[in-house]
Structure 1
Amino acid sequence: MLVGLLLLCAGCGFQLRGSVEVPAEYNPLYVQSASDSLVRLAIKDLLVGSKVRLTEDRSEARLILRILSEQRSSRVAAVDANGKTLAYELHYVVRFDALDASGQQRVPPQTMDLLRNFDNADVEVLGKQLEEEMIYEDFATDAADRILMRLRAVLVPVGGDGGQ
Structure 2
Amino acid sequence: MLLATLLVGCGFALRGTSEIPAELNPILIQGGDGTATGRALLDRLQGSQVRVTEDPREARAIVRILDETRDSRVAAVDRNGKVLAYDLSLRVTSDAVDAGGTPLVPTQRMTLIRTLDNPDIEVLGKREETEMIYRDMEEEAADRLLLRLGAALR
TM-score (norm: length of structure 1) = 0.87
Deviating beyond 6 angstroms after TM superposition, the runs of 4 or more aligned structure 1 residues are none
Map of 1:72 onto structure 2: 70
| Secondary structure in structure 1 of the residue aligned to 2:52 | coil
Match of 1:31 among 29, 32, 38: 29
Report which of the two structures shows the higher radius of gyration computed on alpha carbons.
Answer: 1
CA shift, 1:123, in A, is 1.5
Q: How many residues align?
A: 154
Report 1:73-88 matches (<5 A).
73-88=71-86
Percent of residue pairs identical: 55
What is the identity, as a one-letter code, of the residue corresponding to 2:113? L
Q: What residue ranges of structure 1 are gaps of 5+ in the alignment? A: 157-164
Query: Which segment drifts farther, 84-93 or 34-43?
Result: 34-43
Distance 1:57 1:91 in 2: 32
CA RMSD of aligned residues (A): 1.7
After superposition, give the CA deviation of every residue in 1:126-159 in whole Å (9 maximum; x if it has no partner).
0110110111111110000000000000012xxx
The yes-or-no answer on 1:121 pairing with 2:109 is no
Given the two structures, how large is their TM-score scaled by the length of structure 2? 0.92
Tell me which residue corresponds to 1:97: 95
The match for 1:162 is: none
DSSP 3-state at the match of 1:109: strand
Gaps of at least 5 residues in structure 2 are none
> Distance between the aligned counterparts of 1:86 and 1:13, measured in 2?
41
Contact kept in structure 2, 1:31 and 1:67, CA below 8 Å: yes
